[in-house]
Chain A
Amino acid sequence: MARAPALTMGLAVLAVCGGGPAALAQPDKYEGKRIRTIQFSPVEQPIQGEEIFRLLPLRIGEALRLADVREGIYRLYATGQYTDIRVDARLVDTEGVAITILTKESWFIGRVSTDQGVRQPPNPGQLTNVAGLRLGEAHRPEAVKTAVDSIQTLLEANGFFESRVEPRFEYEPRTQQIHIRFVINPGKRAYFASPELPPGASLTPQQLARLARWRTIIGWRPVTLSRTQRGLDRVRRDFRRNDRLMAQVLLDNLRYDPASGRAVPELQIDAGPKVKVNVVGAHVSRSRLQALIPIYEEGTVDRDLLVEGARNLRDHFQSQGYFNAEVEFKQQRLRDDSAAVDYLVNLGRRNVVSTVEVKGNQYFDAETIRERMFVLPRSFQFRRGRYSETLLRRDEEAVATLYRENGFRDVEVDSSVGEAPGPQRGLAITLRVKEGPQWLIQSLELEGVETLDREELLSRCTSLPGQPFSEFQVAVDRDAILARYYAEGFSDASFAWSATPAGEPQRLHVRYQIKEGRRRFVRQVLMSGLQTTQPQLVNRRILLNPGDPLSQTRMAETQQLLYELGIFARVNVAIQNPEGELREKYVLYQVDEANRYSLTGGLGAEIARIGGNQASFENPAGAPGFSPRISLDFSRLNFRGIGHTVSFRSRLSNLQQRALVNYSAPRLRNVTGLDLSFTALADNAGDIRTFISRRREGAVQLSQRVSKADTFLYRFSYRRVGVDNLKIDPRLVPLLSQPVRIGILSGNLIRDKRDDPTDSTRGVFNTIDLGLASRAFGSQANFTRFLARNTTYHAYGRNKYVLARSLTFGWLQPFGETFLRTELDSAADIPIAERFFSGGANSHRGFPENQAGPRDLETGFPLGGRAVLMHNLELRFPLLGENIGGVVFHDAGNTYSRLGNISFRVRQRDIRDFDYMAHALGFGIRYRTPIGPVRLDLAYGLNSPRFRGCSATNSLTECGPLVDQRISRVQFHFSIGQSF
């Protein structure tokens, strides 16, 4: 068409004028002109409302100053919300100018994820971590490129040399977030190939491959980062084992061959000389030497390390009682590829620390000072005492710090070591304290507080007028004040202090200067990563609302609450654009939902007097036995996306077979601490010698945590319990042999004020359980059940000694009608499986498991009782070092036939009498582990019961000749966890 060429020409002209990079306008043209309008392009800006105009120094109606334009660009850019800003001016009349501010917004990192298709290792978490893109930070294309390179490097290190990584972006303009997903095509994982070594290496490639375990008898193994590193570590350890302490083993490269799919490790190996470390004048085991001389750990030999080794050796000998030990070293020259380091030890006389005295102290008593000291006189725990020069120096500093923290700025602490006077042998160590004057605070000024309540801040300070002055307390005050500011959104708050002498001697005026900085507020809380979880479950736990001060504390608390849901593997929290100078900020939470399915298995064992043959009448008192145990648990977390859990738990052992299904609904009606659960249980238990119980049970339980220490449990259970392999005459007690249905409503109060539930040293633990079984609940037996326990812990001597005691009382009371009556007793009775059974590792250690209390007069098997009274007293103390402890204990009590038969009588009246108080003394060993102490208890029964019981089995249903027996006086118990 004819018009087209002209149009095209015109477009070309316009393109030159408007499309290319424009130079700045001449400054004079607009300077001083009246600003008529100020607009933004685009109209939608990330900074809301009036704030954006407040940032600009330009005002409509005022004269345009180019310096103001520049300042406006500074301020807008400082918000962090923009990557580019241009200011455009257009004359609108002879004296007026219209300003348009053209902006390009920043993007901020949101969700970073990778495809799930990569075979581990590496796992998705490692891939996203190595990308280095942090939630909330400004997005930069170079950073994404670096991320791609880093992911590629990690993939190659794990054998994926043909991987391809592509970032995919998803933009969320409303919140300026950019979500990045790395699409990974990993390719095949390479296998190791024969390593390449430099000429003259002391190992052959085959030897190295075998040592590094890169090759097995089957063939070459796949390359992974951890396998490569572990292999190199093994080679280094092998060199060290052969005294080549300076060996260098470095991986230069993993050279990949695409044709074969193999990676050749190219290594640099320098074995270095053999370095022999000798200790002359004393014996030190090789393992101890390697722990003390740092050249083994560091893999090099230099003077500093040898000096440190000498010091460590000296301390080691001193800790063994050679308090005057001297150690020096001598390096021998390299000869024939070997060198030696001789540590020359002069042990001196072995000694003990007889006394450790503190002198010159007035403000603190000696006990308080000694609590801070490592140097100790001899004792049961430390036979020679504990001393070394290093420890003594440390103690001097610790005591001096104690004084300084209490205002004694001029304190001097020194020590002397001499021979103990008089008939005592050993060392006498004296710590001398020159306290000097105590400096006190005359006045405290708090300046710069404009927004928060000054008095409230002062109430958090410990450095108050009249109190001792110390820099330590100033630091405590600083942390308390700044924590308050950070919680109120003042993330830039700063604290400075000064102290000047007051008029009076040893008095100081202390001044705290606060700079509040800008206060920040929450613009909105953004949550990402929810896939199956219902948003309302999460939203209820967010403690921040738009407009709230931007509190780091609340952010962290919210993060904690989300973790407590138990459904997230990771909860990341960040502020979007943290460096930007904006008043309101987005708070970002990014969650990774945990695997919804978990499967765990376990193996265990129990060793005690538990065994004996369940199918025979022998050993009514049990016999030493070993019961292995297998457990298998399966859980489905976050059921229906509302944080509920369905779990299946099973346990299989000689004594017990159990299957349990549980549905748990925590935080019922969104109330924290209110949890509901439903349980269905099938259990066969043979831990009571008299019978095997078969229990089928359904239960619903509501637990209510009313405070940190107090929890209420409300529970209704309906169960059917049958007994098999009954060792007593069922004709005598038909009640005891029939399956019984029990419906029981119970309530339980738990008050736990212990410092550590797994290994308590202080506190109190109380429980009260009250239950009612009634026909109204479908129960075939009517009875009430009461069981209470009170346990206390008291620590002495710096928590070294713990006196633990526990009192247990229980009572079962039948009432009303029951369809099950005994021939001997027309009154209602308690089904055998519901009775109290006690005895064993966790109740009375003078008895085997569940063997205390009344026994069948015909067979001797335990019958359980309707009352229990038990008292346990235990003294726990350190035995050897830090991890091995000992206990001595006294267990007293019994299971009684009924409440009225509880007695403190210690003698058994006759062979039919079991209602007396049995006592046992014993001692035990405790070995501390991360999951609690492993324990072995040995008890001696002072008055264990005698009874008549079966000696042999004539048939499966008949008991053989009755003989007088006795519960063995000596009982042993092996378990995990304290007994109470």
Chain B
Amino acid sequence: MAFPRILVAIGFLLAKAAGGEIIDRVAITVGARVITESEVRQAVRLRQFLNGEPLDFRAYILRDAGERLVDQLLIRLENENSRYGVPSEEAVAAAQARIIAELFRGDRVAYETALKEYGIDERLLLEHLRWQLTVVRFVGVRFGAGLQITPEEVQAYFMAEIAPKLGPGATATAEDFQSQIEETLREQRANELADDWVRETRARTIIDFHPEVFQ
């Protein structure tokens, strides 16, 4: 009969309504590790804070943040196993100072106000900066060490990227920019290798996005 079933359904829903709120839950599983929804939202806040974008938690933004957190978790696990080292506190402080200078024109009050608006604890921001520096270090050591840049590659880069900007009559040659070009190319190549590594590692890992978080 429909009536008793309705009573049961009411009972369930009333119980649910009298319950509390979800304060955190599993959003993504990466092998035996998890990323929680609060982490995903935190990542969105940080990104939008650093980009000067308004807070927006639409599903596709959450999803995008989740994907990047998966990549970072894989790198974090590899870093834990291989111990490529951590950045110094001075480097972290310097990165923070750069943010205050570039985004807030040196105005610390405006910086702190913005942190409050975005719901970000300053320790969280520093942790984020520390992690970004760790990733850069990881990519550099893991994929960049030993990369050889040939003179032909330096020349090609010079002709494609630098020479057009020098204007007619410029006398500079590739050799004048060699060390910068080599560093740039090494960085690019390392990033490509890192992307490949992330792609391969993802393919080997069971990754599961919980749909209720990303709707």
Q: Do A and B come from one complex?
A: yes
Which residues of A pack against B, CB within 8 Å? 7, 11, 14-15, 17-19, 21-25, 27-30, 66, 69-70, 73-74, 77-78, 80, 83-91, 97-98, 100, 140, 579-580
Contact of A85 among B17, B21, B25 (CB under 8 A): B25
Query: With an 8 A cutoff between CB atoms, is B13 at the interface?
Result: yes
Contact of A14 among B14, B23, B24, B212 (CB under 8 A): B14
| A55–chain B nearest beta-carbon distance, Å | 14
Given contacts A77-B26, A87-B22, A90-B20, whether A21 and B212 have CB atoms under 8 Å apart is: yes
A90–B19 CB distance below 8 A: yes
Query: With an 8 A cutoff between CB atoms, is B210 at the interface?
Result: yes
A88–B26 CB distance below 8 A: no
B16–A18 CB distance below 8 A: yes
Contact of B23 among A15, A18, A30 (CB under 8 A): A30
Query: With an 8 A cutoff between CB atoms, is B189 at the interface?
Result: no
Query: With an 8 A cutoff between CB atoms, is B36 at the interface?
Result: yes
Query: With an 8 A cutoff between CB atoms, is B182 at the interface?
Result: no
21 pairs, A vs B, C-beta closer than 8 Å: A18-B16, A24-B21, A24-B38, A25-B20, A27-B119, A69-B24, A69-B38, A70-B24, A70-B36, A73-B26, A73-B36, A74-B33, A77-B34, A78-B32, A87-B24, A87-B25, A88-B21, A88-B23, A90-B19, A91-B20, A98-B20
Contacts of A86 in B (CB 8 A): 22, 24-26
| A689–chain B nearest beta-carbon distance, Å | 75
A145 to B41, CA, bound (A): 33
B6–A11 CB distance below 8 A: yes
Closest residue of A by beta carbon distance from B211: A21
Closest residue of B by beta carbon distance from A1: B3
Contact of A66 among B13, B20, B24, B26 (CB under 8 A): B24
A597 to B9, CA, bound (A): 57
Query: With an 8 A cutoff between CB atoms, is B206 at the interface?
Result: yes
A24–B17 CB distance below 8 A: no
Closest residue of B by beta carbon distance from A41: B19
- For the A-B complex with A7-B10, A74-B34 known, give 13 more contacts whose Cβ atoms are closer than 8 Å: A11-B9, A19-B16, A22-B22, A24-B21, A24-B38, A28-B119, A29-B21, A85-B26, A85-B34, A87-B23, A88-B19, A88-B22, A580-B32
Closest residue of B by beta carbon distance from A19: B13
| B32–chain A nearest beta-carbon distance, Å | 5
| A835–chain B nearest beta-carbon distance, Å | 75
A652 to B166, CA, bound (A): 103
B24–A22 CB distance below 8 A: no
Given contacts A14-B17, A18-B16, whether A66 and B23 have CB atoms under 8 Å apart is: yes
A580 to B215, CA, bound (A): 29
Contact of A89 among B23, B29, B210 (CB under 8 A): B23
Interface centre among A18, A69, A78 (most CB of B within 10 A): A18
A25 to B22, CA, bound (A): 6
Contacts of B67 in A (CB 8 A): none
Contact of B21 among A14, A78, A90 (CB under 8 A): A90
Query: With an 8 A cutoff between CB atoms, is B39 at the interface?
Result: yes
Contacts of A22 in B (CB 8 A): 21-22
Contacts of A15 in B (CB 8 A): 13
A26 to B206, CA, bound (A): 31
| A701–chain B nearest beta-carbon distance, Å | 56
Majority-rule SS of B interface residues = mixed
B215–A21 CB distance below 8 A: yes
A579 to B10, CA, bound (A): 41
Closest residue of A by beta carbon distance from B40: A24
| A438–chain B nearest beta-carbon distance, Å | 36
A60 to B14, CA, bound (A): 27
| B111–chain A nearest beta-carbon distance, Å | 20
| A81–chain B nearest beta-carbon distance, Å | 11
| A6–chain B nearest beta-carbon distance, Å | 12
B21–A25 CB distance below 8 A: yes
B24–A24 CB distance below 8 A: yes
Interface centre among B20, B23, B38, B212 (most CB of A within 10 A): B23
| A496–chain B nearest beta-carbon distance, Å | 14
A922 to B128, CA, bound (A): 89
| B173–chain A nearest beta-carbon distance, Å | 42
| A39–chain B nearest beta-carbon distance, Å | 11
| B19–chain A nearest beta-carbon distance, Å | 6
Contacts of B16 in A (CB 8 A): 14, 18-19
B23–A24 CB distance below 8 A: yes
Closest residue of B by beta carbon distance from A92: B20
A18–B38 CB distance below 8 A: no
Contacts of B23 in A (CB 8 A): 24-25, 27, 30, 66, 69, 87-89
A84 to B213, CA, bound (A): 12
Contacts of B19 in A (CB 8 A): 88, 90, 100
A27 to B24, CA, bound (A): 10
Contacts of A85 in B (CB 8 A): 25-26, 34
A24–B37 CB distance below 8 A: yes
Contacts of B10 in A (CB 8 A): 7, 11, 14
A580 to B34, CA, bound (A): 13
Contacts of A29 in B (CB 8 A): 21
A519 to B142, CA, bound (A): 33
Nearest 3 pairs between A and B by C-beta?
A90-B20, A25-B21, A18-B16
Given contacts A84-B26, A90-B21, whether A70 and B32 have CB atoms under 8 Å apart is: no
Contacts of B212 in A (CB 8 A): 21
A602 to B135, CA, bound (A): 70
A73–B24 CB distance below 8 A: yes
Contacts of B210 in A (CB 8 A): 84
Closest residue of B by beta carbon distance from A143: B206
Contacts of A89 in B (CB 8 A): 20-21, 23
Contacts of B22 in A (CB 8 A): 22, 24-25, 86-88
A23 to B23, CA, bound (A): 9
A27 to B213, CA, bound (A): 16
A19 to B9, CA, bound (A): 11
Contact of A77 among B14, B29, B38 (CB under 8 A): B29
Closest residue of B by beta carbon distance from A140: B206
A15 to B13, CA, bound (A): 7
Closest residue of A by beta carbon distance from B213: A21
A25 to B24, CA, bound (A): 8
| A393–chain B nearest beta-carbon distance, Å | 32
Contacts of A21 in B (CB 8 A): 212-213, 215
A7 to B5, CA, bound (A): 13
A24–B20 CB distance below 8 A: no
A87 to B37, CA, bound (A): 11
A77 to B31, CA, bound (A): 10
Contacts of B39 in A (CB 8 A): 70
B38–A27 CB distance below 8 A: yes
| B202–chain A nearest beta-carbon distance, Å | 15
Given contacts A7-B6, A27-B38, whether A80 and B215 have CB atoms under 8 Å apart is: no
| A680–chain B nearest beta-carbon distance, Å | 60
A80–B32 CB distance below 8 A: yes
Contacts of A91 in B (CB 8 A): 20
| A442–chain B nearest beta-carbon distance, Å | 30
Contacts of A69 in B (CB 8 A): 23-24, 38
A140 to B20, CA, bound (A): 30
A179 to B41, CA, bound (A): 38
Closest residue of B by beta carbon distance from A90: B20
Contacts of B38 in A (CB 8 A): 24, 27, 66, 69-70
Contacts of B57 in A (CB 8 A): 23
Contacts of B6 in A (CB 8 A): 7, 11
| B33–chain A nearest beta-carbon distance, Å | 7
Closest residue of B by beta carbon distance from A579: B32
Contacts of A23 in B (CB 8 A): 57
Contacts of A11 in B (CB 8 A): 6, 9-10, 13
A24–B13 CB distance below 8 A: no
Contacts of A580 in B (CB 8 A): 32
Contacts of B26 in A (CB 8 A): 73, 77, 84-86
Contact of B25 among A18, A80, A84 (CB under 8 A): A84
Contacts of B17 in A (CB 8 A): 14, 17-18
Contacts of B9 in A (CB 8 A): 11
Contacts of A78 in B (CB 8 A): 32-33
B20–A88 CB distance below 8 A: yes
